[in-house]
Structure 1
Amino acid sequence: MTTDALIIAAGYGTRIAGISASKPLTPVAGVPLIERGIAQAAAAGISRVVVVTGHRAEELEAFLAALAPRIAIEIVAERLADWSMPNGRSVIAGAARISGDYLLMMADHLFERSILERLRGEGAPDRGVTLAVDRRLDNPLVDPDDATWVRLGEGGRISAIGKSLTQYDAVDCGAFLATPELARAIEAAIADGAAGSLSDGMQRLADAGRAATMEIAGAWWLDVDDPHFHAIAEAQAPAYFR
């Protein structure tokens, strides 16, 4: 199983800017989001984390440099020159620092450790990526206005993915087991004229039958994207980070 993780932490975080100037460093019950994510990855068996930085990069990189020895994990910072670009560009930049498969995580998402533990074991030759999905479409912890939706096909494969889907079966949890195919798919989508979002690459793999899913079976996760969900994180996250 992979021992590498890639965390996207380059964006501005407009919706949470009133709470914190740096989204990855936004504290949740006294611990920054990025630290909680890295700590859960380490608890799930990850020993090396690449963090793609951008907005307020120097501040975040200084924090990561101090965090690595404190929690005994290797952390590599990869800075994007233009962090305003779609998030697939972060995947391309970070994946270039990893030789094989990796857990891909969003810096503003929190996950119960069991999700990451199970996801690490999902690798198989018949897939280029495996996405953790939640089939609870009425989950109150999901923001329907900001969610990335997933339409499933035969065998739980992804047939379509995106924020604008009107027919869907699950929601994207923001955690992936990625192979090098994912970054190549994003690059190919850009070459064909796409903006370069992560979903652009995911859809390309889905079209090729190479995008699988792992249902999280009721496990806890949360996208901490605005003050409302930050308040929920403050109340609920400590129970899952012990």
Structure 2
Amino acid sequence: MDAVIIAAGFGSRISALSDSKPLTPVCGIPLIELGVRQLAAAGVDRVTVVTGHEGARVEAFLAGLSARMGLAIHAERVDDWSRPNGFSVIAGADRVAALGGRDFLLVMADHMFAAEILQRLAREGAPDRGVTLAIDRRIDNPLVDPDDATWVRTQADGRIAAIGKTIPAYDAVDCGAFLVTPELPEAIASAIAAGKGGSLSDGMQVLADRGRAATMEIAGAWWLDVDDPRAHAIAEEQAPAQLNLMGST
């Protein structure tokens, strides 16, 4: 199974701790390595990492990680890492297709997940959906930063009605883990053609409007967006007990 990790952005909110978000260590292990190991534990055997800011450093680390793990890790660098993250999704999907793949797990480089989230998500594919998003119904989850969260409003059948950081009504939060089909990069491109900025959420909304955006509830499982020093401190404290990857070499 393929996976794509988005690791292109600057990471301004965590820059006080590190000049490369993907290489920021948590309990001595870079975030990007934790992400790769989480995906491998979910059954992924090939990972594409979309790089940008500090791309050469991240790619050099990935080459060594690939050798250590015996796992195929490919880097796909975007020319302009300041553009919205949907451009990175398109770049990653193009590399997956070039390698002969199709559907893939998609995560952000700064997100951590309990093992069962990605393991369950990998099995969620179905013909009636173009994407499946892991969602947390705990909109008051103390680990979630409400000022940075992407919110989701679902329909009665669990499909997405609306998604974004500023939607007025919501009943879940986007966990940052997706099972993607080729419909999602096409939807992002469609949103860009219609004048949208090109964020991942723009493409998700296109699929939601088509009735093709499904969800998977994480049922209280642990996850964390390590996006700023506060979240990093939480990760240092909680990750050893929450992740079965800690201590791996």
TM-score range, shorter chain: over 0.9
Superposition deviation, residue 238 in structure 1: 1.3
Residue 206 of structure 1 corresponds to 208
Q: Deviations over 1:147-180 (max 9, x none)?
A: 0000001310000000001210100000000000
Cα distance in 1 for partners of 2:55, 2:153 equals 35
Unaligned runs of 5+ in 2: 245-249
Q: Please report how far the alpha carbon of residue 206 of structure 1 lies from its aligned counterpart in structure 2 after TM superposition.
A: 0.1
Partner of 1:28: 26
Partner residue in 1 for 2:108: 106
Task: Return the alpha-carbon distance in structure 1 between the equivalents of residues 175 and 115 of structure 2.
Answer: 13
Deviation at residue 113 of structure 1 after TM alignment: 1.0
Give the C-alpha shift of residue 73 in structure 1.
Answer: 1.1
* Alignment RMSD: 0.6
Deviation at 1:72, TM superposition (A): 1.9
Q: Tell me which residue corresponds to 1:241.
A: 243
Equivalent residue for 1:45?
Answer: 43
2:227 is the alignment partner of 1:231: no
**Residue identity matched to 2:102:** G
| Residue in structure 1 matching 2:217, options 215, 218, 228 | 215
Superposition pairs of residues 1-80 of structure 1, within 5 angstroms: 3-80=1-78
* Identity across matched positions, percent: 69
Equivalent residue number for residue 247 of structure 2:
none
- Give CA-to-partner distance per residue, 1:113-133, whole Å, 9 cap, x none: 100000000000000000000
What is the TM-score with the length of structure 1 in the denominator?
A: 0.98
Within a 5 Å distance, the mapping from 1:125-140 to structure 2 comes to 125-140=127-142
Task: Name the aligned partner's letter for residue 168 of structure 2.
Answer: T
Give the AA of the match of 2:214.
Answer: A
TM-score (norm 2): 0.95
In structure 1, the gaps of 5 or more residues are none
Runs of 4+ in structure 1 deviating by more than 6 angstroms, as ranges, are none
Number of matched residues? Answer: 240
One-letter identity of the residue aligned with 1:112? A
Question: What letter is aligned with 1:33?
Answer: L
- Aligned equivalents of 1:89, 1:229: Cα separation in 2: 26
